[in-house]
Amino acid sequence: MPTIYRLFSKTCDSFYVGSTTKTLKQRLGKHVQKSHEAPNRKVYKCILGSGGFKDWEMEALEVIETEDAIERRTREQFYIDKLKPDLNSCLAIYIG
């Protein structure tokens, strides 16, 4: 089931909100991989600069009952707007 998640530091207040259709463990693995491919991305720069993923965790904010990508992005944007994560660099969806 699609999930909206929060990737957060255990040592400071920094966090990132995202969505996935995979398990949280699989998505975390993808974040680790991407951190090597795009180390200058805001979220990875923070994680790598604070000692790596050992002090970071993921938690589910919401499990979505539909596979619809637009609904998933809309719910992700809801949590971005509500929680105001400091490591998200852009909007999840464009509303225009």
> pLDDT tens across 37-56, in order?
999 999 999 999 999 999 99
Report the CATH number at residue 13. Answer: 3.40.1440.10
Mean pLDDT (whole number) for 50-73:
94
Question: Containing domain of residue 25, as a range?
Answer: 3-83
* In the chain, % of residues over pLDDT 90: 89
Q: How confident is the model at residue 91 (pLDDT cuts 50, 70, 90)?
A: low
**Is the pTM here over 0.85, yes or no?**
yes
Q: Indicate the pairing of strand 15-20 with strand 3-9.
A: antiparallel
- Asked, for residue 59, whether it belongs to a domain, the answer is yes
91 forms bridges with which residues in the sheet?
none
- Asked, for residue 8, whether it belongs to a domain, the answer is yes
Q: What type of residue is 33?
A: Q
Mean pLDDT (whole number) for 21-47:
96
Phi, psi for residue 85 in degrees, rounded to 5: -65, 140
- Asked, for residue 91, whether it belongs to a domain, the answer is no
Provide the domain count of the chain. Answer: 1
